[in-house]
Amino acid sequence: MYSLAEENYLKAIYHLESKSQGAVSTNAIADAMDTKPSSVTDMVQKLAEKEVLSYIKYKGTSLTKKGKKTAANVIRKHRLWEVFLVEKLNFHWDEVHDIAEQLEHVHSEELISRLDKFLGFPDFDPHGDPIPDKHGNVKPTEKKLLSELNKNQKGVCVGVKESNSDFLQYLDKKNITIGTKVSVLGKEFFDGSMVIQVGRDQFFISKKIAENLYIQTN
């Protein structure tokens, strides 16, 4: 069982590692966690003893298999709770992070497996990020911005990039939500605007909109 602080470190290191290959620097962790490098050194040494990461002085850290699994599990919980908050409690996508940040530390395997079932075994959270399975595996996914698709390509909406209230309301009006199928009927190279099909509706969208919607294409 890991403490709240330990879980947060593992999570942060997991994210940093996936963004920039290779060992993660002490400063980078301190930065991500809004804490001081000296505190990071302490914690990282402690976590190295618990064998969730390997740490070489002055060289940085990287998660072990065990550490990756633990981190992925915390992330799994975070994302499942986000789905719950949006789908069941009708929060908006951009309101749920802080709450999920707390809920992710509730310890109970059974709780999470039942929550998963209750939510219909979702694959993505409301931001379009994939939800790891209970073994910590993340399905490799083909997530693109809608603006990167070309004519006749299609996919499923899995999230938004930046979520301001106006944009979310626009999506609402157009009946676009997580899981909605979207097809590109036409694309204007001139301004990046598109004509897309959503359900039985066809309509025009600007480049700005297209750059804010994540689509999964496989």
Partner DNA sequence: CTTTATTTTTAGCCTTGACTAAAAATAAAA
Partner DNA sequence: TTTTATTTTTAGTCAAGGCTAAAAATAAAG
Task: Name the minimum Å distance from CB 118 to its own copies.
Answer: 6
The residues, ordered by sequence, that sit 6+ positions from 50 with a Cβ below 8 Å of its Cβ are 6
Asked whether position 120 contacts its own copies by CB under 8 A, the answer is no
103 binds, among its own copies, DNA, none (CB under 5 to 8 A by kind): its own copies
| Piece of 19-27, 55-63, 99-107, 184-192 that binds its own copies (CB under 8 A) | 99-107
Would you tell me how many other CB atoms lie within 10 Å of the CB of residue 151? 11
Task: Name the minimum Å distance from CB 193 to its own copies.
Answer: 37
# chain residues binding its own copies, by CB under 8 A? 19
Chosen residue from 5, 23, 30, 99 binding its own copies by CB under 8 A? 99
Asked whether position 83 contacts its own copies by CB under 8 A, the answer is no
Asked whether position 80 contacts its own copies by CB under 8 A, the answer is no
121 binds, among DNA, its own copies, none (CB under 5 to 8 A by kind): none
Chosen residue from 3, 27, 36, 89 binding its own copies by CB under 8 A? 89
DSSP, residue by residue, 32-72: HHTS-HHHHHHHHHHHHHTTSEEEETTTEEEE-HHHHHHHH
Sign of CA dihedral 15, 18, 19, 24: positive
Asked whether position 181 contacts its own copies by CB under 8 A, the answer is no
Would you tell me how many other CB atoms lie within 10 Å of the CB of residue 58? 6
108 binds, among DNA, its own copies, none (CB under 5 to 8 A by kind): its own copies
**84 vs 80: CA distance, rounded Å:** 6
Asked whether position 74 contacts its own copies by CB under 8 A, the answer is no
Q: CA distances (Å), 68 to each of 4, 23, 137, in order?
A: 16, 13, 9
Asked whether position 3 contacts its own copies by CB under 8 A, the answer is no
**Helices of type H across the chain:** 4-19, 26-33, 37-49, 65-83, 97-103, 109-118, 165-173, 207-210
Identity of the residue, 42 or 188, whose beta carbon is nearer to DNA in the bound complex: 42
Phi, psi of 72 (to 5 degrees): -60, -35
* Interaction site with its own copies (CB under 8 A): 85, 88-91, 95, 98-99, 102-103, 105-108, 110-111, 114-115, 118
